[in-house]
Amino acid sequence: MESIKELREITQREKIEGRERPWGYRVFQRGPSIYITWLLLHTPLTPNAITLLSILSGVGGAYLLLCPDWKVKLAALFLFYLNLLLDRVDGEMARYKKQFSLKGIYLDELNHYVIPPLFFLSLAWGLKDATAHHESLILLAGIWAGFAAILLRLTHNLPYGIFLKKYVKHNDIFALPASSPSISDLRTHYSFFYMLLRFAHQFQDFFIVVVLFILALGMEQYIAPNAFLFPYTSLLLFGYAIYLPLLVIENIIKGILTIESRMSELSNTIQK
């Protein structure tokens, strides 16, 4: 078996080099994931089995979030962190063993579509009877944030679905303009806003979401123990109920402006 350093080179290089990644990705996600990968490579478990374990970890975290005890909620957040780590491990194992499958991609997408929304919904349900805020407001915030989490993933993947479902089959009727703005064009033209949006997009990363809620739970217990139950956690949930839909709107506007150039890029990629 290769050393940890060699294993990183084999399984992580393409995921790290030349890519913009959110805060903590290299240190707190890819950092520990390689040790779990090294350990699981000594077992008969397949990458798809690891993906299933990742989903189960997220579902288990969602169940524990329903408990009113803050210590149980903290344990739930660590299960969500484990979900993230295993989501990295399954890909690392697949690249090392060269075991790639469409079933694995399907399970991976299912993980990304189900677990983040389930996190917000379960969090809201677990908070509704334990805060000073009205029950309906907490539930609405959880539903709104969860729905936005699904839409964020959907708007990210939508161009690929349009390309395969519509453009490839009917490219004769979808004439592309001679020139249309691309993502890179928008970044160059609106460089200042791009820097602001790049910073704002950091907080949609599910790892950062989990970290922020861990910090909120800790602050409630050790900084403001006499405040209403879960004041910071509730406010953070309200914040995400506002923040995530705004990102969805930004994604939709960006998608409308660049959809033609995305089709052209995808078409050129296939022709190569």
- DSSP per-residue letters across 177-206: PS----HHHHHHHTHHHHHHHHHHHHTTSH
Helix (H) or strand (E) holding 176, with range, is none
pLDDT tier at 54 (50, 70, 90 boundaries)? very high
In terms of residue numbers, what domain contains 72?
4-271
State how far the Cα of 256 lies from the Cα of 272, in Å rounded to an integer.
26
**Residue 175: predicted pLDDT:** 80
Residue 2 has pLDDT above 90, yes or no: no
Mean pLDDT of 48-53: 98
State how far the Cα of 73 lies from the Cα of 143, in Å rounded to an integer.
19
> CATH number of the domain that 40 lies in?
1.20.120.1760
State how far the Cα of 238 lies from the Cα of 69, in Å rounded to an integer.
20
Place of tokens 């520990």: 32
**Residue 264: predicted pLDDT:** 87
Burial status of residue 170 (CB atoms within 10 A of its CB: 0-12, 13-18, 19 or more): exposed
How many angstroms separate the Cα of 131 from the Cα of each of 126, 172, 210, 226?
10, 57, 20, 13
- The distance of Cα 117 from the centroid of its chain, to the nearest Å, equals 10
**Residue 267: predicted pLDDT:** 84
pLDDT digits (tens, 9 = 90+) for 81-133: 999 999 999 999 999 999 999 999 999 999 999 999 999 999 999 999 888 78
Structural domain count of the chain:
1
What percent of the chain has pLDDT above 70?
96
pLDDT digits (tens, 9 = 90+) for 199-245: 888 999 999 999 999 999 999 888 877 666 889 999 999 999 999 99
- What pTM was computed for the model? 0.92
Burial string for 26-52 (b: 16+ CB within 10 Å, else e) reads eebbbeebbebbbebbeeeebbbbbbb
Classified as helix, coil or strand, 131 is: coil
State how far the Cα of 206 lies from the Cα of 21, in Å rounded to an integer.
12
Residue 63 has pLDDT above 70, yes or no: yes
pLDDT tier at 159 (50, 70, 90 boundaries)? very high
The answer to whether the CB of 148 falls within 8 A of the CB of 248 is: yes
